[in-house]
């Protein structure tokens, strides 16, 4: 339970280590929560980088709407060359690993396995870079959840039309890239809420970050197989343990559990008790109770 690995990000690692020393987000100037008429220069979405064939997006002015209105991003804005190269590398690495597995050459197997892992990570990184390029940044956080989700969807649609193995591999890599975004944003949200610098958990912006995380938990991952509910619980358990070990407080985690429940995840406990059970299991270095063999 120490990290969200590739097995958890796409049913098989994002390498987001629990308690990793990630750079702390810059803190915004103190603003009292609930004062909508105050100037809040550090809470508005800023413009995305320049997009090919498109003007810069207009900043969203309303704090209420900023989290739900995506910038005007379309498929013509996508730059897929790096993703295509990374996908080709991953397909080749999978073939090489399959061939190596049929031999008795331990060194060849190890080398092929290492290249496969590196290629999987490279594809996720290329997707994350494209998401960051097209999405508006948020001071102290990663990117606008609405923008990032739009780019995720456009990339998935681009490869869905091509079909084949690439569709599944890109879909998994999108979710792996999203796993890191989710962890980074919830850690930043925890800081913002408890430092009282931006907003509280009832703010629409906070709900946007929580919702992005819940969508990652509930999304279909290719390795979910015939037990999607168990796999979703496992992802939730893992992200809770990762965030808790990084100092994220229970109110943020309970908001995530509640959102997953609203999305249909069956958890036969109240959210606080569920989080405590996950934490207890992680501290004993035991599998959490919701994980099935």
Task: Dump pLDDT digits (tens) for 76-124.
Answer: 899 999 999 999 999 999 999 999 999 999 999 999 999 999 999 999 9
Q: CA Rg, the chain, in Å?
A: 20
Q: Compute the distance between CA of residue 168 and CA of residue 190 in angstroms, rounded to an integer.
A: 33
Quote the percentage of the chain above a pLDDT of 70.
71
Number of structural domains (the chain) is: 1
Q: Is there a domain that residue 95 lies in?
A: yes
Residue 14, pLDDT > 80, answer no
Region for 28 from its dihedrals, namely left if φ exceeds 0, alpha if ψ lies in -120 to 50, beta otherwise = beta
Q: Is there a domain that residue 90 lies in?
A: yes
More confident residue, 262 or 10: 262
Residue 203, pLDDT > 70, answer yes
Residue 213, pLDDT > 70, answer yes
Average pLDDT over every residue of 166-172: 93
Residue 191 lies in domain: 72-283
Q: Is there a domain that residue 124 lies in?
A: yes
Burial bucket for residue 40 (CB in 10 Å: 0-12, 13-18, 19+): middle
Q: Is there a domain that residue 232 lies in?
A: yes
Q: Is there a domain that residue 117 lies in?
A: yes
More confident residue, 287 or 123: 123
Structure tokens at 152: 């995720």
Q: Is there a domain that residue 116 lies in?
A: yes
Q: Is there a domain that residue 263 lies in?
A: yes
pTM above 0.75, yes or no: no
Q: Is there a domain that residue 43 lies in?
A: no
């Amino acid at each position: 339970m120490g990290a969200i690995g590739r097995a958890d990000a796409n049913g098989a690692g994002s390498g987001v280590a629990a308690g990793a020393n990630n750079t702390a987000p810059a803190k915004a100037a103190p603003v009292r929560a609930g004062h909508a008429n105050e100037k809040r220069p550090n809470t508005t979405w800023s413009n995305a980088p320049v997009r090919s064939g498109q003007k810069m997006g207009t900043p969203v002015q309303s704090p209420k709407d900023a989290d739900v209105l995506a910038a005007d991003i379309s498929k013509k804005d996508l730059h897929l060359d790096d993703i295509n190269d990374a996908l080709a590398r991953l397909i080749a690495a999978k073939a090489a690993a399959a061939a190596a597995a049929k031999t008795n050459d331990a060194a060849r197997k190890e080398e092929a396995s290492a290249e496969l892992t590196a290629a999987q990570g490279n594809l996720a990184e290329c997707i994350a870079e494209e998401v960051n390029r097209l999405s508006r940044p948020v001071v102290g956080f990663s990117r606008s959840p609405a923008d990032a989700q739009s780019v995720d969807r456009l990339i998935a649609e681009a490869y869905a039309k091509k079909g084949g193995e690439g569709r599944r591999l890109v879909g998994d890599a999108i979710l792996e890239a999203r796993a890191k975004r989710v962890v980074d944003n919830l850690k930043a949200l925890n800081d913002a809420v408890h430092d009282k610098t931006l907003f509280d958990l009832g703010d629409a912006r906070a709900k946007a970050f929580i919702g992005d995380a819940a969508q990652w938990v509930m999304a279909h991952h290719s390795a979910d197989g015939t037990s999607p509910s168990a796999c979703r619980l496992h992802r939730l358990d893992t992200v809770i343990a990762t965030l808790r070990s990084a100092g994220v407080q229970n109110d943020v985690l309970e908001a995530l559990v509640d959102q997953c429940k609203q999305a249909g995840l069956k958890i036969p406990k109240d959210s606080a008790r569920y989080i405590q059970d996950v934490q207890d299991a992680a501290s004993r270095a035991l599998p959490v109770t919701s994980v099935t063999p």
